[in-house]
Amino acid sequence: MSTRAQQYDATVRDRQQVTPHLVRLTLDVPGFTSTGIADEWVGLVVPGQFQSRYYTVRSFEAGVMVLDVVVHDVGLVTEWASGRSGAVVGQQVVLTEAKGSFLPPDDAAWLLLVGDLTALPAMARIATEHGGRLPVRIHAEVPADSRIEGYFPDGVEVSWLPLDGESRLAEVVEGIDWPEGEGYFWMAGESAQMRAIRKHLMRERKLPSTHYDVMGYWRSVAKRQPRAVDPGPIWRAGKAAGKSDEEIWADYDAAQAGAEQ
């Protein structure tokens, strides 16, 4: 049996500059299989590269996939998608198989979604696919020129948070008004902010891990390059000390934060 992950050849059919920071790519992807999970993502390998970068499947229908790609100052996919190195339409790219992690419990009475520009596609798809059944509240932190009218479906409560310099999402979530009752919290953005939030959810809000999903979508490397922290010894020591999974993740977060100082 082959253990190689499934890959798909795709052709760029269209490229649109939605805002100065966001490019929409429409791809023909014959044979692609969606997981059906609302925050599913694929790895994208652009021409002339071997490394992939992850992008959320904004939509997939009848062999046509839409990806919304944020362009930064520099970056491997940024360089290509921004069109600085040549025309994009008509080019062949490779996609890896889709994976997803949005898994609200059956008894969730609401969805609270928080994220930066890179999380907009996932928040929009989650709101589109689950918004008819559950009330959805979104907090989106984006630069002033990236508030996109009509990006989220009608009926969703959206707060656009200004982004001026570094992300303040962790602070925002610490001060948020939580809806009543049991729900599901989903969040994605810069990794250091996500670590802070995971801690807050575990220690302050004491949310069971089945009721939230917090993902570091990208890592700011403007500061010193962080040292890799091996989770193995932390996991074994935590288990030996009888700690819960949440407590062990908190130890791992603390070790990583220490490595970045």
Ligand X SMILES: Cc1cc2nc3c(=O)[nH]c(=O)nc-3n(C[C@H](O)[C@H](O)[C@H](O)COP(=O)(O)OP(=O)(O)OC[C@H]3O[C@@H](n4cnc5c(N)ncnc54)[C@H](O)[C@@H]3O)c2cc1C
Residues within the interface to ligand X (CB under 6 A): 41, 53-56, 68-70, 72, 74-78, 118, 121, 215, 217-221
- Nearer to ligand X (CB atom), residue 8 or residue 217: 217
Angle at 95 between CA 70 and CA 3, to 5 degrees: 135
The DSSP symbol for 43 reads E
- Which is nearer to ligand X, 72 or 227 (by Cβ)? 72
Closest CB to ligand X among residues 107, 171:
171
Please report the DSSP string for 160-199 in residue order: EEE--SS--HHHHHHT--PPSSS-EEEEEEEHHHHHHHHH
Q: How many angstroms separate the CA atoms of 64 and 10, rounded? A: 9
Nearer to ligand X, 100 or 153 (CB): 100
Provide the minimum distance between the beta carbon of 219 and ligand X in the complex, in angstroms, as a whole number: 6
Cβ of residue 222: shortest distance to ligand X, in angstroms? 7
Min CB(232)–ligand X separation in Å: 22
Task: Put the strands of the sheet holding 184-190 in their side by side order.
Answer: 157-162, 136-142, 111-116, 184-190, 212-218
Q: Considering the complex, what minimum distance in angstroms separates the CB of residue 212 from ligand X?
A: 16
Based on CB atoms, which residue is closest to ligand X, 61 or 204? Answer: 61
Rounded Cα–Cα distance for residues 23 and 27 (Å): 13
- Residue in the shown chain whose Cβ atom is closest to ligand X: 75
Question: Count H helices, E strands: the chain?
Answer: 6, 12
Q: How far is the CB of 59 from ligand X (least distance, A)?
A: 12
